[in-house]
């Protein structure tokens, strides 16, 4: 039922949030204000558990990247109206995107900046902006009767979207200011 689903979702988010708070708090309590952006950089390279954790992160990135790249590339092509691109255009876009990403990876050596920038942009997009767009499209394409509550919910979602956009821009500004100024 919907009620049981909501309970499972809420408990899952609560468990994920608690896990994040506990792990980040323990990392900060371990190193205090000397904590680096990538917490594993605080541990010695001779520590076998830290080395195993670094290997796990490396494997996670190595095996997740192709999946993320493929989905991102195809979504970008679909965004520009290329739902069924030719083999050559697919190859060209792949080479260009890989070149840009590789160039950025070579030139950016501070993981803190990358994580902060992606957190400032993607978290606000996923939490505030995209749901408002999806809800607006759902209501627009719905054949059901629109009530006062429906119209009010659409307005609330637009306010939520603008709030998320402002928070995202501020987050990017703070990230850039702390890194470069």
Phi-psi group of 134: left, alpha or beta (phi > 0 → left; psi -120 to 50 → alpha; rest → beta): alpha
| Average pLDDT for the chain | 87
pLDDT, position 113? 81
Handedness of CA 173, 119, 114, 111 (dihedral sign): positive
pLDDT band at residue 20 using 50, 70 and 90 as cut-offs: confident
Say which residue the tokens 């506990």 belong to.
22
pTM as predicted:
0.56
For the chain, give the percent of residues with pLDDT over 90: 31
């Amino acid at each position: 039922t919907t009620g049981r689903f909501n309970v499972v979702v809420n408990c899952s988010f609560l468990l994920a949030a608690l896990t994040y708070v506990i792990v980040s708090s323990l990392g900060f309590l371990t190193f205090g204000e000397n904590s680096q952006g990538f917490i594993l950089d605080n541990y010695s390279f001779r520590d076998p558990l830290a080395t195993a954790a670094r290997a796990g992160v490396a494997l996670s990135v190595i095996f997740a990247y192709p999946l993320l790249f493929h989905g991102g590339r195809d979504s970008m092509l679909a965004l520009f109206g290329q739902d069924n691109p030719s083999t050559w255009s697919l190859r060209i876009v792949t080479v260009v995107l890989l070149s840009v990403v590789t160039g950025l990876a070579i030139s950016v050596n501070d993981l803190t900046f990358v994580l902060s920038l992606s957190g400032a942009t993607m978290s606000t997009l996923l939490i505030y902006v995209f749901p408002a767009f999806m809800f607006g499209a759902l209501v627009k394409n719905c054949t059901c009767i629109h009530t006062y509550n429906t119209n009010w919910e659409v307005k609330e979602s637009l306010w939520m979207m603008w709030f998320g956009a402002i928070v995202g821009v501020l987050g990017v500004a703070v990230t850039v200011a702390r890194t470069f100024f």
